[in-house]
Structure 1
């Protein structure tokens, strides 16, 4: 009887939730926007600047509701999910725009912020209804966690084989060397020993950290890099192993296989169920320029990581039944960040590279009904453009204040090819370096400039991204 009662209560709560969401969809619709990307892509800066520019839309002419004067008021609300921390918008904005501007800390956990946007409707509804409110729930989560969703379709043997092949390749040889050395002293078929398990897990985490610092994107499991409250738990204490011929029940291999499955059950599945599966719109931020500067292996690694990330999406249009049947991602934006590190004449080439990096996954998403678009953006513009004469040649540069010295410097990062295949083909073929070009990138500090009345932080194409992701809901 107790189980029947629990089932009845569960069905009742589900029905009440569906009714509430149906009413919300009709009268005060809510749009859930997921923001993710791999490390150094600028997720925190993007959300902070997006919120600031929606609250003060003077720099948002390509957002139709703002341009047409229909965006009447935007204000912050308490986040709707009581079990999620609030995105620290005010702290991040103060860090970026204060008297001594700096970059905020990167994303380390899931957080959320709700914006309520009051708009004047268009069309025939204008004469019958007053302003209406659209709630925008912004969910920030690490891209490394999203990469973990690919683990759901793998068993420990497949994952180990793939991870070992990647680590033993020439691209990651330097980063992987200490871990592979530790692995040579381990016998997968030997009896399990906890001290040995912890040592192997630490060595593997060190390898992932070095690979990430070297510009590589595909570093799983993601929680090894961002363990949070689970640090030191058995679910985060394993590593890839060579498969033995006959692993015993108490072997190192068997225990690591069990812990791998626990990781999926305790970490990956709850993230998918509680956060990722509820997304309506998604933006994936990518530090493509950083990968290009790191060389062909980093570009190929980024392409493969993007394929793994986008494989996790369930693209397609939503309807009022989505609250019952499960939501689907309607629109996906792919954004190459740090476009302010390039002269505007190179932005089309950066956009084309972004499109090429996600071409296969983008085609699958579009085929299943989702709208997709690629952008070259800077959520916070840190540079001005300048043309300099160098050895009789005119170079289109950008100028900004360097993080390392606090001094102004001009940067010419190299000329991106108009055809993305000039980069992606040698990357796919395993080239170790670019043959006829060098690409550079500098770390610029945020600009020291007070925000004007009604103005958010300066940006590049943030308004175009906002129009694509939410503009249709502000009509």
Structure 2
């Protein structure tokens, strides 16, 4: 046994560190008591994979919670006497730019706001009038809603925490072998010697080839494209922590490429993934996962199966279940409710919404079963955060076809029929599980619409589909 003698400065630093940890613990307990007894705080995490519509969802949700004229199925609507935005509690987290995003959607020539690139937060506070038998015994109370927006690609990274570099490499390469977008990366990998001495130029070249493949795979509709920061690097762009790639032989001698890649992978988990979980994700009470299910169906069976597996992996990152009152007072959080929402329901006629919801329920069945077993409440539904189309029946060759009409990205108004979704979701899921190359019974098309110009009446938020039902599930019981 070896003893290290610390000087006064070393002992002073250790004492300060212990005192700082104790102070943070006490502050956490105080915050938990204040929230539970005086002004409750509901923390909702909003995530989804690319093009799922996170930014539009938050913008429309906040607008419709502030002006509740279009929220008939949100039961607390009549009990809320005021709703107003406040400074967010986390000074180090960027504020969700609600005003700019709403301006983009409601402009004379509306356009979709920029997508989520990093974590942001917004606090919406409610003054709620008590109802029921105790209505006359207490005055209005304040409830805070903290909405945390973060990229779904980062959420997928939480699954890396329990995987070694060798395990992740094997899974990543197996996925790459089944995707045509990986051809250039796999060609670069063939000429790469992981046992060779580490050389930064070679490491950077392979990492860039891997990153290009991930971007192409995401654009093709695939969901599982980890590590997520390779797609959304932010301030980490070009850093060593994002300069590695999976290898077929992940073990190598000291100083080798493989050994350095393994070290950087562990550093990625320690310096990037774990702080995100600790500072943001672990504090969430309710969660909504937005899914572009129609986009995955359009991309084909492989993309649908990839999405199904991704949904199961996403749930493994949650800590679902209820937290007792005592644990809530101590600042402990678990995800009590999870909503899986298929977005862009306005891209299909309402007669197909039930089929889209059934497909969504089938896609997340494995994930829901795990959450339900752990004590969390889950549900699936199809929504449109902002309705961009109107419905129309078109006669084609003597047959009536239910379509949607909207403004396309090139500014033209067009009626669109995406194809009929199957009544039995097994027709989608079975082909996906079997690895089919394409759908046997037809193709399902996707069209991108611009937001439609709107004129909002006083007290009304933007038009939507089932946003009130989503809000009811997520926060209705808390208000």
C-alpha deviation, 1:394, in angstroms: 1.6
The equivalent of 2:118 in structure 1 is 109
Paired with 2:341 and 2:329, the residues of 1 have a C-alpha distance of 28
Instruction: Indicate yes or no: 2:213 matched with 1:207.
Output: yes
Task: Decide which of 410, 414, 418 is 1:409's aligned counterpart.
Answer: 414
Task: Decide which of 323, 344, 347 is 1:318's aligned counterpart.
Answer: 323
Task: Decide which of 71, 74, 84 is 1:60's aligned counterpart.
Answer: 71
Residues 323 and 106 of structure 1: is their aligned pair in 2 closer, same or farther, counting only changes over 3 Å?
farther
SS in 1 for 2:330: helix
The equivalent of 1:44 in structure 2 is 55
Paired with 1:86 and 1:262, the residues of 2 have a C-alpha distance of 28
> Is the 8 Å Cα contact of residues 322 and 328 (structure 1) preserved in structure 2?
no
C-alpha deviation, 1:451, in angstroms: 1.4
C-alpha deviation, 1:392, in angstroms: 2.1
SS in 2 for 1:58: helix
Paired with 1:326 and 1:420, the residues of 2 have a C-alpha distance of 38
> Is the 8 Å Cα contact of residues 110 and 140 (structure 1) preserved in structure 2?
yes
1:452-463 matched pairs, under 5 angstroms: 452-463=457-468
Task: Decide which of 97, 116, 123 is 1:88's aligned counterpart.
Answer: 97
C-alpha deviation, 1:184, in angstroms: 1.2
The equivalent of 2:136 in structure 1 is 127
Q: 1:31-74 CA distances to partner (integer Å, 9 max, x unpaired)?
A: 000000000000000000000001111000100111xx211110
SS in 2 for 1:372: strand
C-alpha deviation, 1:325, in angstroms: 6.2
SS in 2 for 1:229: helix
Task: Decide which of 302, 306, 317 is 1:301's aligned counterpart.
Answer: 306
Paired with 1:434 and 1:461, the residues of 2 have a C-alpha distance of 29
Q: How big is the alpha-carbon RMSD for the aligned residues of Structure 1 and Structure 2?
A: 1.1
Q: 1:409-460 CA distances to partner (integer Å, 9 max, x unpaired)?
A: 1111111111111001011100000011110111111011121111110000
Instruction: Indicate yes or no: 2:194 matched with 1:188.
Output: yes
Paired with 2:23 and 2:205, the residues of 1 have a C-alpha distance of 48
Residues 46 and 182 of structure 1: is their aligned pair in 2 closer, same or farther, counting only changes over 3 Å?
same
Q: 1:144-174 CA distances to partner (integer Å, 9 max, x unpaired)?
A: 00000110111011111111111112xx12x
Unmatched segments (≥5 aa) in structure 1: none
The equivalent of 2:4 in structure 1 is none
> Is the 8 Å Cα contact of residues 315 and 368 (structure 1) preserved in structure 2?
yes
Instruction: Indicate yes or no: 2:33 matched with 1:27.
Output: no
Instruction: Indicate yes or no: 2:374 matched with 1:368.
Output: yes
Task: Decide which of 166, 171, 185 is 2:175's aligned counterpart.
Answer: 166
Q: State TM-score, norm by structure 2.
A: 0.96
Instruction: Indicate yes or no: 2:469 matched with 1:468.
Output: no
Task: Decide which of 272, 278, 297 is 2:277's aligned counterpart.
Answer: 272
Task: Decide which of 333, 336, 348 is 1:330's aligned counterpart.
Answer: 336
> Is the 8 Å Cα contact of residues 45 and 149 (structure 2) preserved in structure 1?
yes
The equivalent of 1:230 in structure 2 is 236
Paired with 2:190 and 2:225, the residues of 1 have a C-alpha distance of 21
Paired residue total = 467
C-alpha deviation, 1:23, in angstroms: 2.0
SS in 2 for 1:75: strand
SS in 1 for 2:444: coil
Residues 259 and 323 of structure 1: is their aligned pair in 2 closer, same or farther, counting only changes over 3 Å?
farther
> Is the 8 Å Cα contact of residues 287 and 336 (structure 1) preserved in structure 2?
yes
C-alpha deviation, 1:393, in angstroms: 1.8
Paired with 1:256 and 1:124, the residues of 2 have a C-alpha distance of 63
C-alpha deviation, 1:361, in angstroms: 1.1
The equivalent of 1:74 in structure 2 is 83
Paired with 1:470 and 1:164, the residues of 2 have a C-alpha distance of 41
Task: Decide which of 423, 427, 444 is 1:439's aligned counterpart.
Answer: 444
1:349-364 matched pairs, under 5 angstroms: 349-364=355-370
Q: State TM-score, norm by structure 1.
A: 0.97
Unmatched segments (≥5 aa) in structure 2: 1-10
Q: 1:90-120 CA distances to partner (integer Å, 9 max, x unpaired)?
A: 0000011101100001000000000001111
Paired with 1:395 and 1:319, the residues of 2 have a C-alpha distance of 52
> Is the 8 Å Cα contact of residues 32 and 331 (structure 2) preserved in structure 1?
no
> Is the 8 Å Cα contact of residues 43 and 107 (structure 1) preserved in structure 2?
yes
Paired with 2:296 and 2:43, the residues of 1 have a C-alpha distance of 29
SS in 2 for 1:243: coil
Instruction: Indicate yes or no: 2:13 matched with 1:7.
Output: no
